[in-house]
Amino acid sequence: MLSAAELEQYTREGFVIKRGWFSPAEVSALIRFAQDDPEMLARVTGRLDSEGNQTKLSLWDDPPQNLFGFFARSRRLVEPATQLVGEEIYHYHSKLMLKEPHTGGAWEWHQDYGYWYNYACLRPAMISCLIALDRADRENGCLQVLPGSHDLGRIDHGKVAGQTGADMERVDVLLARQSPTYVECEPGDVLFFHCNLLHRSDANRSPRSRWSLICCYNARSNSPYKPARHAAYQPLELTDESRMAAAVLEIANRPSRSAQDKSVPATAPLANP
């Protein structure tokens, strides 16, 4: 659970970080599972940035009965996210972000609610939880955020290169007034951030991958008012920690591709996440 100081930081800045929230063994197991999961690989899609580099992701709505789902239903994510949203939440969707060495593209400045508003969610009672699977730093394109920008409300979004991004006239004014915060993370760190927080990431210029799992949640009372791109409310059954531990141990003992081999297939165009 989050402390009073962490809750106050989230209210003020729109994000809070929990360091070492998942263990090295859990992170390693998730990477190995992803490398060998044909369903994850089949869902990989991509979007070009303004320089023509491609960023890739694999996205799903219903948390599956495997390690991806165990993370999404983990108390370590769901209970803090419930505190921050302030009411019962449900799994909206999750996505595995795949920034490959040298070629992984940038994400332009945007708010998650800049997309989700159009998917019949009336209020920004929504949150994203980013789990770092690799070390994330400036060299390999870690996330950047503008602290406090969630208080601006939803900014109009439109086409920016091959993506949908926030109105750059407003973003440029904000950048003239404050510098972004680079969210550098070690594997297992978790960033909880508000759906109206402006964020972006640079391309991966390094020889290292930058993978992350982002689990997104919506308030039960904010379930889409009509059928839309992502999931409507369904009760969230939390993961039993012993089941998570057993899955991690089983995957750790399973033959796998090299931990250094994180290649992913060619991708189809990506719709807004």
Of 84-93, 210-219, 232-241, 258-267, the range with the lowest mean pLDDT is: 258-267
Q: In the prediction, which pLDDT does 255 show?
A: 76
Mean pLDDT within 1-5: 95
- Which sequence spans correspond to the domains of the chain? 4-259
Summarize the confidence of residues 107-116 as an average pLDDT.
95
Q: Within a 10 A sphere around the Cβ of 90, how many other Cβ atoms?
A: 18
* Minimum mean pLDDT range among 17-21, 175-179, 253-257: 253-257
Lowest pLDDT segment from 40-54, 155-169, 258-272: 258-272
The alpha carbon of residue 139 and the mean position of all alpha carbons in its chain are separated, in whole angstroms, by 19
- Answer with the residue of higher pLDDT: 87 or 259: 87
Residue 49: pLDDT band by 50, 70, 90 thresholds? confident
**Of 112 and 53, the one with more pLDDT:** 112
Largest separation between any pair of C-alpha atoms in the chain:
52
Average confidence (pLDDT) over 255-260: 56
Phi, psi of 212 (to 5 degrees): -155, 150
Of 48-52, 128-132, 204-208, the one with minimum mean pLDDT is: 48-52
Task: Examine the pLDDT at 167 and tell me if it is beyond 80.
Answer: yes
- State pLDDT tens for residues 66-80: 999 999 999 999 999
Pairing of β 199-201 and β 126-132: unpaired
Q: What is the mean pLDDT of residues 197-204?
A: 96
The arithmetic mean of pLDDT across residues 191-196, rounded, is 98
**Sheet containing strand 15-18, strands side by side:** 15-18, 190-194, 126-132, 210-219, 89-99, 54-60, 45-48, 268-269
At 269 the pLDDT is 46
pLDDT higher than threshold 70 for residue 184: yes
- What is the band of 263 on the pLDDT scale with cuts at 50, 70, 90? low
In this prediction, residue 268 carries a pLDDT of: 44
Report the chain's mean pLDDT, rounded to a whole number: 91
Superfamily of domain 4-259: q2cbj1_9rhob like domain (2.60.120.620)
Mean pLDDT of 6-25: 98
